[in-house]
């Protein structure tokens, strides 16, 4: 499907055609550090605070005037809390405003003053975290990754634990470690076993030597529930979703391996998790629904979905850029995989997370877990590509890697197609200054 | 040591003598749901907002006028962020104001108008969560409990994993599940194995049948750090502590047992964690320092403390009240144990948590893990008392329990002695309305 045409020039390959309209938090050249909501359109960003204050929403009568203050907030939480019908109304209205044949040319198309103030070239804006994250939970729904990692951490015969196909396994993450794309990633130090073979129980405190990525989808919630209540599958679990981002759950494999039994990962994960800046709404992804991977286990009813196409077919890719001697870099695309490689959908994760009465909140972030396919070239972590650090990964420019070195940059992209994508989720590795 | 005498009548057994002065968040009969800071003194509570607005702090010149707005906030986060020296100044000033021989009688002792407005009988006030909790991490530093639980979940030979004595094991918890003492606890439903022997991999979705308590100390932080930096032992880890509360990390053992491998507990824990309302400052606990349990493992230097007395000897007790036919209840004290039964101190937990660069924030909550002694009558969970649900626990009034039933009430108390204590941390079990 070709995205609707706009009076604004939008590059053909842009993730941000009129078919998308994701939301984010920006500061601009003119906002003097004051954060506000924005949307990307092609290579431009619309400052929704300035747009709103310039009567940009005057033709959207269903959005009450007092509700428009949500766009002046430093996070999207208040906007998210208005609920999916309102998100969709605003998205559709903005599509109309930017459409070539807009019914409201006076709003922006022919309003040179507002265009100048509100519609900025992307490089005149900077993104911030889109949401204030109350709690962050990371699942493990990428069954191919779970199998591969389980094989390496334990053994292939016991790679998946018996609970794996019965419930979406997950753990509580660290909200304070979630950062926006572009934030430097500082190599953590921690307890690691330098010689696992000969000294399997004598750790050393040292910088991580097995710094890894995890290719994930993130999901922000737009509904809050009280303790003791739940969000039900096929009912309110799906409508509790605000939207999606790309997520790199950076992992220190050597720290994680020693610390994680029996209560799960802590310092192996809590030094940084990077997300892409724009929250893509479910309505923008609706054309890209895909079936989950088959689960032969008979599910309990609180996890049974009416339909199987509750994940999305988005092409996720991972670029690894290695610094070269000239100050440039050699980039290799090390992974290209569909985001549909999940055994569990986000509505199932939400239904499970809240099934025991856990309070969920607007702004909560859920991670899918690492997404890998079954083939080489479809793996979502270096752990899998290097077979647990045993094998070099061949890269462009005669480079080799098992895990990340200082100066390496990793960039995730996600393209659903037809002008709908996620932009970049990127981070560069830095040595800790305390080492 | 006898606590200093006050002009206000303070019952001899009170946790809240002048030697204590903990801080909390209250609403009062007069505040119309507006939250503010308060301190308990005997059976009274001082409304610090009203006190401050009534020039109560006028003799504390080191607390700038603009800083006094911290007492009007709905959480203690801003007060906490002022740092330990300020907390101590305020505590000492309030001790002086309430002292029998106060140098400032005009402030409150002889100020009938302010006394009437600001100093309320406890029953005219209600407590709320003292802090906005950014992240909550629960450790596992009670080695006696870890050994007992490990023996039951695995076997005595492998009860403690090799990492246990090298680092404070912990997991990220769910901040949204933390509630104030007195909040109803709703029995969670979840995936449980009804017949572990014969169907070890076929779960049922049902109300938890092994609802348990965990007797813990909680610790709130008063310092924020950036990602990539850390709080160091013997330096800033100790001064990052705002204060302490009692904590009941309610646990659904059957849900936890099935879900927790390999990433740790999720729904077995995230339905409720209750804390006591008043945050007791480290300065109030200084006289009760005690030695940690001996750890024979050679520690890495980032965890080595200059002194061994970095935990506290507070007598923790657990009362279990079973409803009787007359609408009353039979109460049994099932546990009495010193809070010093820890292998790791809070400064060690903080140093470890942040060692890899995890960002810590004012308002973060850390839990000690369940505190048990070595003797019967000193156990911090029903799991241990009932030997994994195999043995009935005998209670007053001919009652028996393995785990908690609906209608049961559990109350933790913590008494350091000499007029310093924590008040109550209590919760009553209710059936889920959706069952």
Q: Which residues of A are annotated as a binding site for Ca(2+)?
A: 138, 214, 216, 249
Residue of B nearest to A190 (CA): B356
Residue A164 lies in a domain: yes
Instruction: Compute the count of residue pairs across chains A and B with CB atoms less than 8 Å apart.
Output: 217
- Do A274 and A152 fall within a single domain? yes
Q: Which residues pair with B170 in a beta bridge?
A: B139
Residue A6 lies in a domain: no
Candidates A145, A177, A227: best to mutate against B (most CBs of B within 10 A) is: A227
- Do A352 and A281 fall within a single domain? yes
* Partner-chain contact A169 B265, CB within 8 Å: no
Sheet holding B365-367, edge to edge: B170-172, B136-139, B365-367, B215-221, B241-248, B273-275, B178-180
Closest by CA position to B252, among listed B232, B231, B273:
B273
Question: Domain of A259?
Answer: 136-430
- Do A345 and A418 fall within a single domain? yes
Residue that terminates a domain, selected from A128, A163, A197:
A128
Q: Does A150 touch chain B (CB under 8 A)?
A: yes
- Do A231 and A114 fall within a single domain? no
User: Does residue A320 contact residue A397 with C-beta atoms inside 8 Å?
Assistant: no
Residue B362 lies in a domain: yes
Q: Which residues pair with A121 in a beta bridge?
A: A44
Residue A374 lies in a domain: yes
* Chain B residues whose beta carbon lies within 8 Å of the beta carbon of residue A183: 227
Residue B82 lies in a domain: yes
**Residue B53 above 50 pLDDT?**
yes
Give me the pLDDT at residue A434, please. Answer: 62
- Do B48 and B155 fall within a single domain? no
SS3 A276: coil
Percentage above 90 pLDDT, chain B = 92
- Do B222 and B151 fall within a single domain? yes
* Partner-chain contact A359 B177, CB within 8 Å: yes
Residue that terminates a domain, selected from B93, B128, B163:
B128
- Do A123 and A141 fall within a single domain? no
Residue B13 lies in a domain: no
Predicted confidence pLDDT, tens digits, chain A (435 residues) = 677 899 999 999 999 999 999 999 999 999 888 999 999 999 999 999 999 999 999 999 999 999 999 999 999 999 999 999 999 999 999 999 999 999 999 999 999 999 999 999 999 999 999 999 999 999 999 999 999 999 987 788 889 999 999 999 999 999 999 999 999 999 999 999 998 889 889 999 999 999 999 999 999 999 999 999 999 999 999 999 999 999 999 999 999 999 998 899 999 999 999 999 999 999 999 999 999 999 999 999 999 999 999 999 999 999 999 998 888 899 999 999 999 999 999 999 999 999 999 999 999 999 999 999 999 999 999 999 999 999 999 999 899 999 999 999 999 999 999 999 999 999 999 998 764
Closest by CA position to B44, among listed B111, B107, B98:
B98
- Do A355 and A380 fall within a single domain? yes
- Do A50 and A155 fall within a single domain? no
Residue of A nearest to B261 (CA): A161
Give me the pLDDT at residue B434, please. Answer: 62
- Do A220 and A80 fall within a single domain? no
Q: Does B302 touch chain A (CB under 8 A)?
A: yes
Q: How far is CA A157 from the centre of its chain?
A: 31
Angle at the Cα of A427 (from A91 to A276), degrees rounded to 5?
Answer: 10
The CATH number covering residue B74 comes to 2.30.30.230
Q: Which residues of A are annotated as a binding site for substrate?
A: 140, 154, 256, 260, 370
User: Does residue B392 contact residue B243 with C-beta atoms inside 8 Å?
Assistant: no
Q: Which of B44, B87, B145, B353 is catalytic?
A: B145
Give me the pLDDT at residue A158, please. Answer: 87
Q: Which residues lie below 8 Å from residue B309, measured CB to CB, with a gap of 6+?
A: B289, B290, B291, B292
The CATH number covering residue B211 comes to 3.90.850.10
φ/ψ of B244, rounded to 5, equals: -125, 150
- Do B143 and B118 fall within a single domain? no
User: Does residue B291 contact residue B308 with C-beta atoms inside 8 Å?
Assistant: yes
Candidates B184, B227, B262: best to mutate against A (most CBs of A within 10 A) is: B262
Per residue in A87-96, is it b (16+ CB within 10 Å) or e — as a string? beebbebbbb
- Do A43 and A141 fall within a single domain? no
Residue B77 lies in a domain: yes
Q: Does A159 touch chain B (CB under 8 A)?
A: no
Residue A402 lies in a domain: yes
Tokens coding A214: 């995890």
Sign, Cα dihedral of B259, B129, A136, A252:
negative
pLDDT of B121-167, one tens digit each? Answer: 999 999 999 999 999 999 999 999 999 999 987 788 889 999 999 99
Give me the pLDDT at residue B435, please. Answer: 44
Q: What is the mean pLDDT of residues B334-343?
A: 98
* Partner-chain contact B262 A150, CB within 8 Å: yes
Residue that terminates a domain, selected from B85, B110, B128:
B128
Q: What is the ipTM of this complex?
A: 0.96
Give me the pLDDT at residue A435, please. Answer: 44
Q: Does A386 touch chain B (CB under 8 A)?
A: no
Q: Which residue has the tokens 């960039």?
A: A411
Q: Does B162 touch chain A (CB under 8 A)?
A: yes
CA-CA distance, A297 to B134, in Å (whole number)? 37
Tokens coding A288: 């890209």
Give me the pLDDT at residue A327, please. Answer: 81
Nearest to A191 among B167, B228, B364 (CB): B167
| Residues of A tagged active-site | 145
Give me the pLDDT at residue B154, please. Answer: 79
DSSP state of A333: E
Rounded to the nearest angstrom, the minimum Cα separation between A19 and chain B is 35
Number of domains in chain B: 2
């Amino acid at each position: 499907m070709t995205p609707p045409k706009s009076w604004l020039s939008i590059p053909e390959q842009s993730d941000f055609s009129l078919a998308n309209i994701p939301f984010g938090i920006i500061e601009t050249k003119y906002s003097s550090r004051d954060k506000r909501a924005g949307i990307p359109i092609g290579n431009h960003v619309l400052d929704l605070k300035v747009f709103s204050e310039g009567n940009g929403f005057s033709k959207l009568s269903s959005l009450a005037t007092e509700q428009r203050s949500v766009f002046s907030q430093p996070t999207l939480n208040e906007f998210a809390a208005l609920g999916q019908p309102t998100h969709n109304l605003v998205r559709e209205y903005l599509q109309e405003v930017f459409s070539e044949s807009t019914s409201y040319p006076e709003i922006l198309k022919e309003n040179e003053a507002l265009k100048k103030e509100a519609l900025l070239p992307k490089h005149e804006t900077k993104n911030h975290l889109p949401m204030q994250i109350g709690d962050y939970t990371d699942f493990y729904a990428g069954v191919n990754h779970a199998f591969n990692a389980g094989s390496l951490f334990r053994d292939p015969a016991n790679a998946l634990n018996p609970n794996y196909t019965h419930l979406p396994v997950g753990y509580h993450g660290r909200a304070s470690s979630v950062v926006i794309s572009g934030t430097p990633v500082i190599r953590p130090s921690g307890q690691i076993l330098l010689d696992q073979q000969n000294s399997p129980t004598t750790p050393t405190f040292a910088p991580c030597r097995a710094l890894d990525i995890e290719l994930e989808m993130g999901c922000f919630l737009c509904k809050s529930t009280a303790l003791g209540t739940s969000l039900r599958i096929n009912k309110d679990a799906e409508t509790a979703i605000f939207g999606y981002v790309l997520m790199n759950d950076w992992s220190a494999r050597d720290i994680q391996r020693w610390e994680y039994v029996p209560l799960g990962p802590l310092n192996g994960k809590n030094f940084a998790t990077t997300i892409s800046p724009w929250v893509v709404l479910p309505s923008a992804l609706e054309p890209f629904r895909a079936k989950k991977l088959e689960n032969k286990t008979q599910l309990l009813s609180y996890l049974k979905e009416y339909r199987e196409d509750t994940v999305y077919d988005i092409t996720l890719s991972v670029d690894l850029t290695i610094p070269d001697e000239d100050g440039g870099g050699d980039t290799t695309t090390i992974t290209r995989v569909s985001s549909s490689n999940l055994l569990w959908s986000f509505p199932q994760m939400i239904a499970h997370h809240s099934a025991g009465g856990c309070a969920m909140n607007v702004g909560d972030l859920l991670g899918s877990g690492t997404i890998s396919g079954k083939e080489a070239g479809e793996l979502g972590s270096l752990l899998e590509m290097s077979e647990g650090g045993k094998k070099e990964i061949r890269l462009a420019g005669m480079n080799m890697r098992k895990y990340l070195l200082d100066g390496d940059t990793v960039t995730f992209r996600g393209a659903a197609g037809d002008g709908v994508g996620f932009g970049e989720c990127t981070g560069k590795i830095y040595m800790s200054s305390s080492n």
